[in-house]
Chains A and B, each alone.
Chain A
Amino acid sequence: MRKISRRSFLASSVKAALFSGVGGFAVKGGAFAGSVPWSNWSGGQTCQPAGRYDIGSEDQLSSLLKKTSGAIRPVGSSHSFSPLVPTDGHLIVIDRLSGILDYDSETKQATIGAGSRLGDLGDPLAAIGQGMINLPDIDRQTVAGAIATGTHGTGVTLQALSACVASLRLVTPSGEVMDIDSTNQDLLHAARVNVGALGIVTQVTMQNRESYKLKKREWAAPTEDILENFDELAASHRHFEIFPLVYSDYSLVLSIDETDEPIGQIEVEAVPSDDASIAESLGLSDNPTPAERRQMSNATASRIQATESVDVSHKILSNVRNSRFNEMEYSVAAEVGAECLREILKTIYDEKIDVQFVLEYRYVGADQDWLSMSYGEHSHATISIHRMASADYRPYFNRIEPIFWKYGGRPHWGKVHSLTHKELSGLYPRFNDFMDLRRELDPHGRMLNPHLRDLFNA
């Protein structure tokens, strides 16, 4: 029996999803007489801004905001799937505010330009003996964007990236520069996950740690076997998550732990002929029933061979994603996470929802940031669903989103959701405090767009 790797299985999953794509939201550009349209990474969000300001320094930004009064929206790498950016005002681009500005070898803190891309920081941080405590999956987000949206990695004891922000500098909509640190805990907890509503963050001081290596292990296992022991598995690994296969009893499993082993990789590469059988198992044969699809998918998944690799932390934790997709992610209390996941998988199966993309299920450590999806005293489970960018995500996401609500889910700010302040104020204990602070810092609402008006009742 030929063996296949988890990576090749995922690649085939993406390939199958691509083949099933229908339609899309591509902007049809014209002659671009004015400013070119903006689209996010997936192409699911678009707008025609009045213009773009390419900010070169904090002083420039402050002066600009003092001198102008029109609508603005900050933009990082445009990786958010939710409509945080679209505006008919001006986009504020901060990718020139980048790089390591200062660091402290004793405290293991580094001050970083907020426009830095996460993927550009790993090597420079390693060169000064530091590594970020955790990282999200995609490495091309800016620091500002990742923090503002509460973006997180995996790990029951590891908090979102925002919780590692020791201090930050915020230029308010009126151009005032604010240094925000732990001397004002409330303000720091509000300003970290700010959804781009309080001002423009120009730099952040991150609490890092000494540079380190990680060992990643990937394999496939029956989903129920993993879910029954998920708490123990999550507690026994630095990072632990699963990617449940739809129409299958199996999940792809990922564990990551610190190691002193030499850098290297042991992986079984897929043989080309497996692609056809994988594609077939993913539903590309002639209209299989869910039961037939489950049988084929299980057979394929059971042949996935474990792989291991060792590398420096940032190369293990983050990835370049070249296949574009849209995503919805909610967090729910860890104790109901498995139940929520089971209901989603059952709904897909029972209602024959046409999707191939794997789900993602993991734990994230609790924190105290007002708009963090892991706000509180206990860790949360997060569940993600995806749809290839070439396909209309709405029918699938609209069907699954109420399941998240049923379990008290909190949405990821950078991912697709349909909640407004009416629901959000009941999900985040400090939500109304955040709305008050937003009104105080942006009384004229120049940082609001239609989506933020819905979020903050503005």
Chain B
Amino acid sequence: MKALLLRMFIFRMLALASILGLLSTSLSAAEPNLPGNDLGVTNPSMSDSAGSEAMAKWARSCALCHVTGEANAPVVGDTEEWQQRLQKGEAALLNNVVNGINSMPPLGYCMSCEAADFRVMIDFMAGVK
């Protein structure tokens, strides 16, 4: 039953990510007018908290391993596994993502991600938000 619920959760989250991915090409109007913004180029350091762009990035990077559990990656929605990691604290988790840990390479294959993106992704995978 737990496995079934986990699969259902993953399916729903993937569907959500897919939808968010379709919406990710538009920029938030709240972003300041810095180089690139008026061109529709995403500069992650300026992103607001909407998170849709972060989820589109998640679908292109983290999902490679965190959906299937490739290389023992904690699977999205496996709250028990993620709780153990959350207990390390946000700073430690971000450091692990940015520097890489075990089989996960630095930045987890998301070269466009900034810290704000990673926070959204971790919360999503841990089922926090």
Contact = CB atoms under 8 A, between A and B. Distances in A.
Interface of A: 26-29, 31-32, 34-43, 46, 51-57, 60-61, 63-64, 67-68, 75-78, 91, 93, 95-96, 98, 140, 320, 322-324
B43 A54 contact: yes
Contacts of A63: 39
Given A43-B100, A324-B103, A56 B112 contact: no
Interface in B58-114: 60-61, 64, 70-71, 91, 94-95, 98-100, 103, 105-107, 109, 111-114
Contacts of B99: 26-29, 39, 43
Interface string B22-64: 0001000000000110011111110000000100010011001
A174 B70 CA distance: 41
Given A35-B114, A95-B60, A52 B107 contact: no
B106 A39 contact: yes
B115 interface: yes
A51 B42 CA distance: 11
B100 A52 contact: no
Interface of B: 25, 35-36, 39-45, 53, 57, 60-61, 64, 70-71, 91, 94-95, 98-100, 103, 105-107, 109, 111-115, 118
A interface: dominant SS: loop
Nearest to B118: A36
14 contacts: A29-B94, A29-B98, A31-B91, A32-B115, A35-B45, A36-B113, A36-B114, A36-B115, A41-B105, A43-B99, A52-B45, A60-B40, A76-B111, A322-B70
Contacts of B109: 77-78, 140
Contacts, number: 115
B98 to A, nearest CB: 5
B42 A56 contact: yes
Contact of B112 (A40, A46, A52): A52
A140 B64 contact: yes
B36 A53 contact: yes
B18 to A, nearest CB: 14
Contacts of B103: 322-324
Given A53-B36, A93-B112, A27 B44 contact: no
Given A26-B100, A93-B112, A54 B42 contact: yes
B35 A68 contact: yes
B100 A78 contact: no
B116 to A, nearest CB: 9
Contacts of A56: 25, 40-42
A337 B106 CA distance: 35
Given A29-B94, A78-B105, 10 more contacts: A28-B95, A29-B95, A36-B107, A39-B107, A57-B40, A63-B39, A75-B111, A96-B60, A320-B70, A323-B103
